Structure 1
Amino acid sequence: MQLRIKLVPLAIALAFAGAASAQTVIKIGHVAPLSGTSAHLGKDNENGAKMAVEELNAKGFMLNGKKVTLQLLLEDDAADPKQGPAVAQKLVDAKVNGVIGHLNSGTTVPASRVYHDAGIPQISPSATTPQYTKQGFKSAFRVVANDNKLGGTLGRYAVEKLGAKRIAVIDDRSAYGQGVADQFIKGAKGKSKAVQIVGKEFTNPNATDFTAILTSIKGKKPDLIFFGGMDSVAGPMLKQMKALGIDAKFMGGDGICTPKLALLAGDAIGENRVTCAEAGGVKGAQEKVMADFVSRYKAKYKADVQIYAPYVYDAVMVMAKAMQTANSAEPTKYLPVLQKIKHQGVTGMIQFDNFGDIKDGSLTLYTYKGGAKTKMEVVQ
């Protein structure tokens, strides 16, 4: 009897010790494709998250006067819309305090409902489909401009600056690819009634042979081809365009706008032939801040930033700032703060509108010269 009496307080003490220990760890989930054709972009995003968490922990992350440790839970959704919700549920079950991700629009949208239903804040650093923030989920945010701005700006630029009149459009049937292509068409046609969309074709995110659709397009003599999709498809497509003798200009959104596109396309990248845009961009004094980040990233990972590592970094910092301002990592307590946050990040000032979209989101236009991605201008 005496033995049992002594054991009960011990069990209670251990239980309380475990609970106290659990309170000192704040879990943040990060999701991106770490396998498949977009794995290089997913790794770039993951590195941005790691950088932010490591820096915050090194400085000593405090909540309500107590030091806590941020723990990053890394997951792979393989850019698969079916895998997105499954990974999201895994993070919910792990009781994460917030989520950074996903990378692709096609996985971000279905996963967002899982996080919303669980009351967990989610910040995407790269999903651009307008659908994501138009669902009415108060838990959903993004730190880049959406496809309405991205595609529309590219459409207007194609007509106004590149003089495109006969345009062919190809998309990869993903939520992102279709969305940015549709907005591109609206932007181009809205700029001039003389613009003709001479062909609309589609492929898929894993395709490697585009002979049939490119042969069809060639006969329609376009002066510009717009592709809604990723660099892993755009690179081989450019090679096959060259092989077929198609000398049209080539344009795409942030999915193709990577240093790797030049490697995938080889000499088919041409000089000033390709124009693309990233959702985001800095100018003026902010350029030095971004340059410093890029330098630190390269020193740490021995690799160049692909696209969105700085935006992932800022997304983590914004979430952490909301927690500290609220003096709590409990989603119900820091979510209202996140909705009203104002944070000067690497990528510029971050504030969200009533939908969770970034206010005054910018775009950066690029081309390729000498096989290198080359910045042209930042527009807002």
Structure 2
Amino acid sequence: MMVRNRQYGSKFAVAVAVGMLPLMSFAAGELDVKIGLTGPLTGSQAAIGKDHENGVKLALDRLNAQGITVGGKKLRFELLSEDDAADPRTGMTVAQRLIDANVKAVLGPYNSGVAIPTSKLLNDAGIVMTTVASNPRVTMNGYPYIFRIGASDTQLGTRMGTFAALKLKAKTFAVIDDRTAYGQGVADEFIKAARENGIQLVAREFTNDKATDFSAILTKIKASKPDGIFYGGYYSQGGPLRRQMKMLGLKGYLLGGDAICNEELAKLGGDTVDGNVYCPQGGPVLEQTAEGKQFVTDYKRRYGIEPLTYAASFFDGMNIIAKAMQKANSVDPKQYRAALAALNQPGVAGTYQFDEKRDLKNSPITVYTFKSGQPVAISESK
């Protein structure tokens, strides 16, 4: 069961008003704390990267307005955003840039292929990293400074495999993945769970995260007449894939991981993204909780758009970092890291309590379908 923070709404109104004051208005006794963010701020995944940045900015407004103190000084948080372009090599470059800037924490990366190498770099530098990257390898090494604040591929892929068998009553499925660490990871977990629940895998095909034409793969799959296709990859390919499924007469289901679970999928796939498309998201349905509704309202007021999959998680990530700093009475990651690991803190997107690998102990998963271009929740795992 999710525990809620009922104080979110009242605090945020103050944050918006105060967070925009000129820098010169802050007292001399303040301590500037640099926070890094790395994600795909340009390119085909830019919408999701900006969504994460927006979530962090909302948290910083609130925290700066509250004027929390550590070591007798009022903290003022400053965000340094870096575009990793969803590319591992670029991700390493920008992570080093954040290290050199003396950030006290990094939120992101989003992509598992970026997060896996970056995790070692940041851990070796002694900087806390909080990420929603879902490949199990992100936390497999047990790096003490690396925390996952979303569900893992094991949880997401397994959920969709059992959903396909038990809810959709599917007998056969084809699987396509984009060969990224995320896409392969979530596809492998789907296959494992689907097979354990009696689904026959009739095809396993591969593409890449820049592809736009899936006709050859889909034509090959069509001959096996599967009940559905599971796609391990991102919305930027998932939308065109669904559109081309319909063009070729593949009328079955399209399932995927959390990376296709947002309205951007429907923008790219049009009306082919319908009630036969299913995807998971970690955490509860925001619109079903008071603080979730408030978060959505405040996000839309600030940015004029709906939040996507993980804006609330990035908002929470910044807040739990600040909470750990308070508990440790230090902004030094070497001091507050242990406090973060021991935290049991409610947030907008869930309750943050970590296991020995610093994965979330409790990450319920909600399954969504699509209606009128928007993801609509249909069920939640307990």
TM, length-normalised to structure 1: 0.91
2:314 to 293, 312, 315: 312
Contact 2:30–2:73 under 8 Å retained in 1: no
CA RMSD of aligned residues (A): 1.6
1:246 aligned counterpart, secondary structure: coil
Contact 1:229–1:255 under 8 Å retained in 2: yes
Distance, in Å, in 2 between the alignment partners of 1:373 and 1:335 is 36
Cα displacement string for residues 130-172 of structure 1 (whole angstroms, at most 9, x for unaligned residues):
1011112010001111111110110011011101111100000
| Residue 274 of structure 2 is aligned to residue 277 of structure 1 | no
Gaps of 5+ in 2: 1-27
Gaps of 5+ in 1: 1-20
Contact 1:275–1:365 under 8 Å retained in 2: yes
Aligned partner of 2:214: which letter? F
Residue 174 of structure 2 corresponds to 168
Residue 202 of structure 1 corresponds to 206
Residue 45 of structure 1 corresponds to 52
> Which structure: larger Rg?
1
Residue 96 of structure 1 corresponds to 103
Distance, in Å, in 2 between the alignment partners of 1:186 and 1:371 is 30
1:61 to 65, 68, 81: 68
Contact 1:282–1:348 under 8 Å retained in 2: no
1:377 aligned counterpart, secondary structure: strand
Residue 232 of structure 1 corresponds to 236
Residue 152 of structure 2 corresponds to 146
Distance, in Å, in 2 between the alignment partners of 1:198 and 1:268 is 23
Moved over 6 A (4+): none
Residue 247 of structure 1 corresponds to 251
1:183 to 189, 211, 232: 189
Give how far 1:22 is off.
Answer: 11
Distance, in Å, in 1 between the alignment partners of 2:190 and 2:270 is 26
Residue 15 of structure 1 corresponds to none
Aligned partner of 1:347: which letter? A
Distance, in Å, in 2 between the alignment partners of 1:339 and 1:306 is 27
Alpha carbons of 1:97 and 1:350: their partners in 2 closer, same or farther (altered >3 Å)? same
Cα displacement string for residues 254-309 of structure 1 (whole angstroms, at most 9, x for unaligned residues):
01000121111112113x110110122258x9722111111111111101011100
Residue 86 of structure 1 corresponds to 93
Contact 1:211–1:240 under 8 Å retained in 2: yes
Distance, in Å, in 1 between the alignment partners of 2:321 and 2:138 is 18
TM, length-normalised to structure 2: 0.91
Contact 1:286–1:348 under 8 Å retained in 2: no
Distance, in Å, in 1 between the alignment partners of 2:372 and 2:341 is 43
Cα displacement string for residues 62-116 of structure 1 (whole angstroms, at most 9, x for unaligned residues):
1122112111111110100111111111111111111111111111111111111
Aligned partner of 2:345: which letter? H
Residue 354 of structure 2 corresponds to 352
Q: Which 10-residue stretch deviates more, 361-370 or 315-324? A: 361-370
Distance, in Å, in 2 between the alignment partners of 1:232 and 1:105 is 16
| Residue 41 of structure 2 is aligned to residue 34 of structure 1 | yes
| Residue 378 of structure 2 is aligned to residue 376 of structure 1 | yes
Residue 7 of structure 1 corresponds to none
